[in-house]
Amino acid sequence: MGYLDGFRVTFNRLFEERVTTEYPQEKRPKPERFHGRHVLNRYEDGMEKCIGCELCAGVCPAQCIYVRGADNPIDDPVSPGERFGYVYEINYLRCIHCDLCVEACPTEAITESKMFEFSFANRQDAIYTKDELVVDDDGKPQRQPWELWHDGDDALTSGWMRATAPSGSAAHVGQVGWSGELGYGVRSPELGQTAPSDDDPDGGQG
């Protein structure tokens, strides 16, 4: 057969399932614990979860987070408690998406979405302010003009992304250890790494 042998591979592949996706028109599901850009969550009643404690800024190895707290106005509180996050900025030119901020957050205010497709025309845009990071009134992240979103991408936000279980115990698998969230309510428990991925349309069966 000579040179035709070389085409055998090609012909065989013709009848196999195609693995190439037409990115960016088409996106593949992201892994369960994918680290994308952050969102600042709110409670189901609309209160912000961030209390401005600066633990995320303190733990950040890239020093890309700048937080300042302020006294919560008693008549119109922003978050429950005395203190709220008055300034919250993340510089995505520095962020390495290590997720330590999510680990450090005592209120599950900051979580990472699976959205990573953003490009900026200037450095200022790379600094996401609190207005941009906090979820909207439906609990969905706010779309920035420089971000590539498809329909449904905004639903891929939040989700419990903490790598360690409370107290580090395997006994907690299946138990919900976090509070309700605007737009999502109380999320189902994390079932370990073999469990269906959040954003897998067929529930991880395929």
Partner 1 sequence: MTDIGTPIDWAPGFIANTTPKIVSGRFEFEDSFTIERAMATGAYNGLKAALAKTPAAVHDEVRGATVLGRGGAGFPAGVKWGFMPPDKWPRYLVVNGDESEPGTYKDRLLMERDPHQLIEGCLIACYATGLSQCFLYVRGEMPLAHERIAVALNDAYEARLVGKNILGSNFSVDIVLHWGAGAYVVGEETALIESLEGNRGMPRLKPPFFPAAVGLYGQPTIVNNIETLANLPWILSNGAQAYAEIGSESSPGTRLVAVSGHVKRPGVYEIVNGLTTFRDLIYGDQYCKGIRDDNELKAFVPGGGSAPWFTPEQLDVPFEGREASAEGSMLGSGAVIVMDETTDIPTAALSLTKFYAHESCGKCVPCREGGTWLEKILTRVVKGQGSPRDLELLLEVGATICPGDFPHASSSRLGLEAQPFPYKMTTICFVGPSAFAPIHSALTLFPEEFEAKLTRRDTIPLMSMPVADATGTDESVGAVS
Partner 2 sequence: MTDLASASEVNETGVNITINGVRVVAPKGELVIDAAERNGVYIPRFCYHPRMEPVGMCRQCLVEVDTGRGPGLQPSCMLTVSDDMTVDTESETTKRAQEGMLEFLLVNHPLDCPVCDKGGECPLQDQTLAFGPGESRFVEEKRHYEKPIPISDLVYLDRERCILCDRCTRFAKDIAGDPLIHFMHRGNETQVLTFPDDPFNSYFSGNTVQICPVGALTARPYRFRARPWDLAEVESTCTTCSVGCRVAVQSSRNELLRYEGVDIESVNHGWLCDKGRFGFESVNSDQRLAGPYLRDVNNSDQLVGTNAALEAAATAIGAGRGGGGVGVIGGARLNNESAYAWSKLARTVIGTDNIDAQLADGLSAQMVLSLPRATIADATSADNVVVIGTDLKEELPVLFLRLKGAAQSGRIKLTELSLLVTGLSKHASASHRYVPGELAHAVGELLASNPQLASGSTVVVIGRPSAADFPDEVEAAVGVLTAGLPLATFLPALRRGNVMGALDMGLSPGVLPGRVSLDEGRDWFGSVWSSLPGEVGLDTAGMLEAAAAGRLDTLVLLGADPLADVPDRDLVERAFAGVGSIVAIDNFVTESVKRANVVLASTAFAEVGGTTTNLEGRVSRLGQMITPPGTARADWMIAAELAWRLGGDLELESLAQIWSEIEAVAPSHAGCTLEVVEAEGAIEGVVVPIPKSPDLAGAPSGPASIRWSAPALAEPPSVDGYSLRLVARRKLYDAATNTQMAPSLANLAEQAQLMVHPGELRRLGVESGTRVNVTSSRTTVVLSLVGDAAMPRGLAVMGLRQPGLAASELIDLRAAITELRIESR
Contacts with partner 2, residue ranges (CB under 8 A): 51-55, 57-58, 68-71, 81-83, 106-107
Indicate whether 177 belongs to the interface with partner 1 (CB under 8 A). yes
Residue 57 partner contact from partner 2, partner 1, none using kind-dependent CB cut-offs of 5 to 8 Å: partner 2
What tokens appear for 130 in the block? 């609190």
Distance CA 128, CA 10 (A): 47
Residues with Cβ within 8 Å of residue 171, at least 6 apart in sequence: none
Of 106, 113, 54, 56, give the one whose Cα is nearest residue 85: 54
Q: Which stretch binds partner 1 (CB under 8 A): 15-23, 45-53, 116-124, 174-182?
A: 174-182
In the complex, least distance from residue 173 CB atom to partner 1, rounded to whole angstroms: 10
Of 189, 190, 184, give the one whose Cα is nearest residue 43: 184
In the complex, least distance from residue 195 CB atom to partner 2, rounded to whole angstroms: 28
In the complex, least distance from residue 121 CB atom to partner 1, rounded to whole angstroms: 30
Residue 69 partner contact from partner 1, partner 2, none using kind-dependent CB cut-offs of 5 to 8 Å: partner 2
Indicate whether 204 belongs to the interface with partner 1 (CB under 8 A). no
Up-side HSE of residue 195: CA atoms within 13 Å toward CB?
11
Cα distances (angstroms) measured from residue 94 to each of 30, 64, 65, 66, 127: 22, 6, 9, 12, 9
Indicate whether 155 belongs to the interface with partner 1 (CB under 8 A). yes
Indicate whether 184 belongs to the interface with partner 1 (CB under 8 A). yes
